[in-house]
A and B are shown apart, each in its own frame.
Chain A
Amino acid sequence: MSNLSVAVVGHANAGKTSLMRTLLRDSEFGEVEDQAGTTRHVEGGGLLIDESKILSLFDTPGLEDSIALLEILQNDPQHKNSDGIERLQAFLNKLNDYPELQQEAKVLRAILNNDLIFYVIDLREPILGKYLDELKILSFAAKPVIPVLNFTQQGSENIASWKTQLARLNFHAFVAFDNVHFKFSDELKIYQKMQSLLADKELLLTELIKLRESQWQETFDTAKKLVANLFIEAACARYEAENNETAIAAQTKRLQQLVRQAENSCVKQLLQLYQFRQSDLENEALPVQHGQWELDLFSSDNLQEFGISLGGNIAKGAGIGVAIDVAVGGITLGAAALSGGAVGALWSVKQRYYDEIQAKIKGKRYLCVDDVTLQVLWLRQLKLLATLQQRGHASFDKIAIQNSANISPDNLPKQWNAYLRKLHAYPQWSSLNRATKIGDSSKRDKFLKALISEI
């Protein structure tokens, strides 16, 4: 297996395990707590490039007493003229003399055994001597080091001073990477920095970058598909009810329940897709209201649809007429073809509007999700999607889906009303409706694509 391995090191509580979690998209990796000494062993996770290539990442315990360690490494009288690696080896050989530095020894072993080092810096912290000592110790290993500036948002005021300090110590290839406020472009920068430091692994890292980009894009595309699909499901849903209060209340409740279930299922899938825990979510129930399904035979969308179907079915109907005529050897070929055309058109109307007309005659009503609810649903999902795109896997804050999303025409697709009219014309597109028929899915797919392009 063609490998590249990285030791993730840093001071206690700097966010090493969080970095691992975010890069591996694994909220369960290691242990993360707001105190020193949480990680007490070296634990690895790998990003698979293909069957034979892997980028291994090793999480290490925090360097908690670099001052004492550096003192030992620098002032060992037996190794006054030794280089850094020899000094580290000498220290590890007589580790029994320093039982209080067992954790640091693990870090030293990790940096000696791996190809590259990520040094995680908590930007919220001022530049302290112990951090500079840590960097000096890392330089003993003679391995490329990439300082990873964590907590860029909360520690923004320290960025400049850290950068200056890093440059003074000859670390120029640093990257900003916030584990909590995640940006995929920052992740790519890490790999690009690795490329510039490890010339012999350039191809491997190019492959990794391409793979990560395609995986990220695939995740985003899939998420958009889920959101657009949910919208279609909800907007096309309709329930028939007798025209009395009890029946309407009962059907409204059912409709609300099903739309909420559909939304929950979508959210669950989104969380799974981005590999977050289900418990990360703090959800407010969608306030599903109901409107009345309008039977608008003559809306422009319906007419257009009707027109297309009419043409198609006239031809099909004509086909039926001709076939019957020929079969019986009759002579009214023209009339039969014409009547066949009329049958085709009627069939088309029946197919599309039979249920509605029947409901109208019987004095029943169709209930559907109203416009405002659909707007809330759409905006909630978009907000959730944006949150998931920027959330690190080490975040502890709950993801809030609230109904307070700003509903205004500016936040909605420009063709919102046209979309709704179209969706109302296709109840068969929603699996929330009772009877779903085998039918043409290409129009739904086309509409789904149009909706996806709005996200």
Chain B
Amino acid sequence: MSQFESRLLVEGVRAIESATPTQHMNTCKSDDKSFEALLFQRATEQDDTLQITSLFAHFKSLTKNIYRLFAFILFILGALAVNNMLFTEQLTSVNFFWAFTLFFIPNLVMFGVWLFLFLKPSLLQNSSLTRFTLSSIKLIERRFNKAQIKRNNYWILFSCYFELHFSKNLGRYKLSQLTHLLWLSYFSGALLMSVVMLATHQVDFIWQTSILSSESFQSLTQLLAYLPQKLGFIVPTIEQIQQSHLSIENLVDADNRRLAWSSLLISSLLLYGVLPRLLLYFYVSFQFKQFKIRYSLDLSLPYYVQLRQLLKPNKATLGITDADEEVTKKNLVNFQYTACKSVQLPQHFYPVAIELSAPQFSLAKAHLQLVFPESKVNLVNVCDHSQQQRLLSDIQLNNNQTVALYVALNRVPDRGLKRFVTQLTAIPGKQYHLFLLVDNKRSTQRDNDWYRLADSVGIQLDNILHIDINGDNNE
């Protein structure tokens, strides 16, 4: 499969999947393959079930056959045109320049039209030629390939194939190829018929004019004959040109004159009709092949960006490198803190603040002042190791049996805090209360965390008090 065909296959899968990659993906993610290689690998896997390649091959041969059919029709038309124009029963003489004009002026006009459309590719893509070709293809398919049409995704792939072949640069050259092929066929038909007819019929060539001078016709003929003459074709001499004027009745050298004019007509058809179209046909065919080789997928399309994330992610999973040996069970107990209502404040207590922010600490002090104005203890915010150690020794020395710990509800109780509170509660003869300072909103999760900590360090759950910073409803 050529690179173009593989990309076409990928586009076929995209057409079927539409906006998002939906098909099952067996393709292994691989670091050593390019994204496009992975795309192709995936498309090949999909092709087994979707049968895209076979349908595209069918479209390819269909297009070829349509081109051939068109070429054949134009070949016949070219032949018929010569037959009608030059060799009717009534006609024994042919006006050479009128015949030339009828053949070559339309060719020139159409060449101009093609060139204009070629330079504006969008017009060519949307031209009558495109529509006519597609309609013909559809007609043939509907008439002769009914089984194909019934295949899954037939019309999706039909659109995909011909959108691609008849659009942008590919379409520009594919449609140009068709244009030149048609004209080539037309001139070939005309040339062949001319040779056959001139070989089997006798016609005299004349020229005539009402407003132009004879000299200008002679110069024109010489100009026209220049290239054929250089290439060895027999062309009319000045005398023969003069003798062919309509008003001159001259039977002298009539055979040679007929031969010279016939030779000029055939060589003109060949050199000014067939050859340029043939060269253009080869040129656009070559360009079409080049663009096929250069054809690339538009990987900036959302579809491909999404696929890139799936097939060639920009991240890797490195796994667990230092696994936890313990199997922890979280949230074994959910404490119903709301049930603990009407908690009574102790009469006297030794207050301690633990890891409070400055505003929280101020509020704790304000609360202490409010509920225990006679307290002479200087409230300390214990935030580091030395303060922890100092507090442990202070409490051991203090006679007060009740210790109230001011903590912030929104702070996550960690193992370090638990260790410290455990050290506190391990001091004999003390009872502990936990004052949870609530700012912002209360979180069930955080409540549970603190209740669990209290439970694990031996603080009675009834001794937990919520102090609402924003309001005064303590519970």
Contact = CB atoms under 8 A, between A and B. Distances in A.
Interface of A: 11-13, 24-26, 34-37, 40-48, 51, 54, 56, 58, 61-62, 64-68, 70-71, 100, 102-103, 106, 109-110, 125-126, 128-130, 132-133, 211, 215, 218-219, 221-222, 225-226, 229, 265, 268-269, 272-273, 275, 312-313, 315-320, 322-323, 325-329, 331, 333, 337, 344, 347, 436, 438-443
Contacts of A100: 415, 419
B317 interface: yes
B412 A36 contact: yes
A442 B125 contact: yes
Interface string B104-133: 011001100100110001110111110000
Contacts of A322: 106, 109-110
B54 interface: no
Given A51-B32, A133-B384, A67 B322 contact: no
B102 A269 contact: no
Nearest to B132: A320
Nearest to A224: B302
A109 B316 contact: no
Given A318-B113, A438-B134, A64 B415 contact: yes
Q: Which of B121, B355, B387 has the most CB of A within 10 A?
A: B355
Contacts of A229: 302
B162 A315 contact: no
B123 A312 contact: yes
Contacts of A275: 309
Contacts, number: 215
B376 interface: no
A41 B446 CA distance: 23
8 contacts: A40-B326, A45-B317, A45-B318, A61-B324, A65-B415, A269-B306, A326-B102, A333-B102
A336 to B, nearest CB: 10
B250 interface: no
Interface in B396-440: 411-416, 419-420
Contacts of A211: 314
Contact of A226 (B168, B302, B315, B383): B302
B357 A320 contact: no
Nearest to B164: A438
Contacts of A125: 357, 411
A109 B322 contact: yes
Contacts of B317: 44-46
A315 B168 contact: no
Interface of chain B, helix or strand or loop or mixed?
A: helix
B20 A272 contact: yes
A273 B102 contact: no
A88 B314 CA distance: 34
A12 B355 CA distance: 15
Interface in B350-382: 355-358
Interface size class of B (residues with CB under 8 A): 35 or more
A100 B418 CA distance: 11
Contacts of B385: 67, 70-71, 129, 133
B216 interface: no
B335 interface: no
Contacts of B326: 40, 102
Contacts of B117: 312, 315-316
A56 B318 contact: yes
Interface in B305-354: 305-306, 309, 313-326, 328, 330
B208 to A, nearest CB: 15
Given A100-B419, A273-B305, 15 more contacts: A13-B412, A34-B443, A34-B445, A44-B317, A65-B415, A67-B420, A70-B385, A133-B385, A211-B314, A265-B19, A269-B19, A312-B117, A312-B126, A315-B113, A442-B125
B322 A64 contact: no
Q: Which of B167, B321, B449 has the most CB of A within 10 A?
A: B321
A269 B412 CA distance: 37
Contacts of A13: 412
A319 B127 CA distance: 11
Contacts of A109: 322
B280 interface: no
Nearest to A26: B315
A54 B316 CA distance: 9
A149 B85 CA distance: 90
B159 to A, nearest CB: 5
B166 interface: yes
Given A40-B328, A322-B110, A106 B163 contact: no
